[in-house]
Structure 1
Amino acid sequence: MTDLLIGPADTTVTITVQQRTSKAPADAFKVLVPIDLPNVFRPVAPFPGITRVENQTETWDHAGARRNPQFDDGSQADEQITEYTDGHSFAYQLTNFTNVLSRLAAGIRGEFNVNPDGPGTLIRWTYEFKPLPGRRWILAGPFTPLWRRYMTAALNRCVVVIEAADESPVGVTASTVSAQS
């Protein structure tokens, strides 16, 4: 059982972005879950990109799976899937940041939902920040538009990878995403 970072009594800061793809929900989900993080999480000032993933203990397709994203500023975080509904959604939490986020939030709950949208799919991605005491105003204020821009850029790159999935194997290379984004 995973210890959940955020509970019903917590006051959080939530940021949600969404994007559509022409792929069916099951196809979009199949590509989204194991997506290569360095291909889609690139730097968007002032935030770093992900350079690699370390310590992934299991396949990334069930609650309890863990890994450590490594950022291009030399920092890292702990990531763990907390919920997984095959073909529809997965949630995860990020904790133990070693960058500036460690001074703003106790952690983050992320969630991807993949929903039918006509002949395609609507992907909704939410980040829910659990602020440290006295830091909520920073996360809810000046931080929010910057983070939304970071999330939008990453989700747009996810959709490029999903749309290209028929032409390339899962784990599309960075050069493929670069050429299309």
Structure 2
Amino acid sequence: MTTLLIRPDDKTVTITVQQRTLRAPQDAFRILTPIDLQTVFRPVFPFPGISGVKNQTEAWDHAGPRRNPQFDDGSQADEELTEYTPGSSFAYQLTNFTNILSRLAAGVRGEFNVNPDGDGTLIRWTYEFKPLPGRRWILAGPFAPLWRRYMAAALDRCVHVIETEKNSEPVPPRAS
């Protein structure tokens, strides 16, 4: 059983981004959940991109699988899928960072929610950092806008992958 990183009384730093797609929620979720991390997590200064994933032994389609994202600066983290609600949401936690995050946070809880939005889908992605003692001000202050920019760029690429996936109905062009 997974030991959850964040407890109700923890003082965390939460950053959320969201974006819409014209794809139906079931298509968005089906494409998003196993998405190739190297495709969507590219470097956005000052943060590295993901160069690969090691040690993933199970499909990313239920709570429990683990893997080690590899960053293009040579660092890595431990990742575990902690919640999975088919067609709707999934959550994961990242711990044991070997980069600068190891000095700022005990770990992170990430969560994607896929919600109906008219004829399409609203994707909401939240990162909840559990700061190390005395580091919350850094995460909530100068770090937060930089991380939000990183997340927005990655979510934009996720939506691009979702909308160009060949195994789904074509997405009509957006009105100008």
TM bracket, shorter-chain basis = over 0.9
TM-score, normalising length from structure 1? Answer: 0.92
Aligned counterpart, 1:172? none
Q: Is 1:124 the counterpart of 2:120 in the alignment?
A: no
1:1-181 map, 5 Å:
1-166=1-166
SS at match of 2:28: helix
The farther-off stretch of 158-167 and 133-142 is 158-167
Question: How many residues were matched structurally?
Answer: 168
TM-score, reference length from structure 2: 0.94
Give the AA of the match of 2:35.
Answer: I
Structure 2 residue identity aligned to 1:159: V
Give the CA deviation at 1:139.
0.1
**Residue by residue, what CA displacement relative to the aligned partner does 1:103-152 show, whole Å, maximum 9, x if unpaired?**
00000000000000000000000000000000000000000000000000
Residue deviations 1:46-104 (CA, integer Å, cap 9, x gap): 00000000000200111011000000000000000010000000000000000000000
- 1:167 positional shift: 6.2
Distance, in Å, in 1 between the alignment partners of 2:100 and 2:134 is 15
Q: List, as ranges, runs of 4+ consecutive aligned residues in structure 1 with deviation greater than 2 Å.
A: none
CA–CA separation in structure 2 for the residues paired with 1:107 and 1:80: 11
One-letter identity of the residue aligned with 2:98: T
Contiguous gaps of at least 5 residues in structure 2: 169-176
RMSD: 0.9
Q: Could you tell me which amino acid in structure 1 is paired with residue 47 of structure 2?
A: F
Q: How far, CA to CA, are the matches of 2:56 and 2:120 in structure 1?
A: 31
